[in-house]
């Protein structure tokens, strides 16, 4: 645990990016939210850590640290709490063509057909590990390790909103048009981020995601 600002602490849960560590992150966040004290301003879960932001006018750093250590110890020793099933969000994706300009080259690099790459990518059961890079950008755990691909040597200056890609051992979706170097397999018509919507991001940490291969609109 370390201070990263006068009003923020970073709790490191582990050193590995894996489902078990990320599940511990979300379990701890659930415990903290359930006990949400008045001084707590925000929680930011990541792959293997949690950012905790608090109101220093209400509580000091030492008191927050002690409280969080107690929650971390209790979360680590307690049996998994009975919770409601996580939300599952189905994401329709048009794979290939203009929507997925890297599909064919990615499949060739993996030594499989484009159709097989689509089938295997869409067959995965993914978990939103964290939101980062851009507002509403979900980093998903659960990609078949055999589908891991290096990022582009030269990133694109513009990636369309809704693009679905692979970057290393991760898969994710671009919520808004932005630069990016992930290998683009397809695109979803869903609005992943809308500042006029509450909440603005379609996906949240802990959500389950399933991709549905669909045909392009005529």
Q: Are 192 and 119 part of one and the same domain?
A: yes
Q: Are 59 and 143 part of one and the same domain?
A: no
Contact yes or no for 187/170 (Cβ under 8 A)? no
pLDDT number for residue 154 = 94
User: Burial of 50 by CB count in 10 Å (0-12 exposed, 13-18 middle, 19+ buried)?
Assistant: buried
Between residues 84 and 8, which one has the greater pLDDT? 8
Q: Are 203 and 98 part of one and the same domain?
A: yes
Compute the C-alpha angle 130/132/134, nearest 5°: 145
Q: Are 119 and 72 part of one and the same domain?
A: no
pTM over 0.85: no
pLDDT tens, position by position, 105-137: 999 999 999 999 999 999 999 999 999 888 889
- Residues 48-65 have a mean pLDDT of 94
Q: Are 97 and 184 part of one and the same domain?
A: yes
- CATH of residue 47: 3.30.1360.40
Confidence check: pLDDT of 14 > 80: yes
- Residues 180-190 have a mean pLDDT of 96
Domain span at residue 139? 88-214
Q: How many domains does the chain have?
A: 2
Confidence check: pLDDT of 7 > 70: yes
pLDDT number for residue 134 = 84
Q: In the structure, what pLDDT confidence band is assigned to residue 76 with cuts at 50, 70 and 90?
A: confident
Q: Are 58 and 135 part of one and the same domain?
A: no
Confidence check: pLDDT of 82 > 70: no
């Amino acid at each position: 645990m370390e201070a990263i600002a006068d009003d923020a602490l970073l709790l490191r849960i582990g050193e590995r990016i894996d489902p078990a560590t990320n599940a511990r992150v979300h379990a701890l966040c659930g415990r903290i939210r359930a006990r949400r004290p008045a001084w707590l301003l925000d929680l930011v879960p990541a792959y293997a850590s949690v950012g905790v932001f608090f109101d220093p006018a209400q509580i000091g750093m030492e008191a927050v640290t002690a409280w969080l250590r107690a929650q971390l110890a209790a979360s680590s020793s307690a049996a998994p709490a009975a919770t409601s099933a996580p939300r599952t969000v189905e994401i329709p994706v048009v794979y290939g063509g203009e929507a997925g300009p890297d599909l064919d080259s990615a499949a060739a690099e993996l030594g499989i057909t484009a159709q097989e790459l689509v089938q295997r990518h869409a067959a995965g059961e993914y978990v939103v590990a964290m939101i980062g890079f851009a507002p509403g950008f979900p980093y998903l755990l659960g990609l078949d390790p055999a589908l891991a691909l290096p990022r582009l040597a030269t990133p694109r200056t513009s990636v369309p909103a809704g693009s679905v890609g692979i970057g290393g051992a991760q898969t994710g979706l671009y919520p808004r048009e932005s630069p990016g170097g992930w290998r683009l397999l397809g695109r979803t018509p869903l609005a992943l981020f809308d500042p006029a919507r509450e909440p603005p991001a379609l996906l949240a940490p802990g959500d389950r995601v399933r991709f549905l291969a669909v045909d392009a609109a005529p």
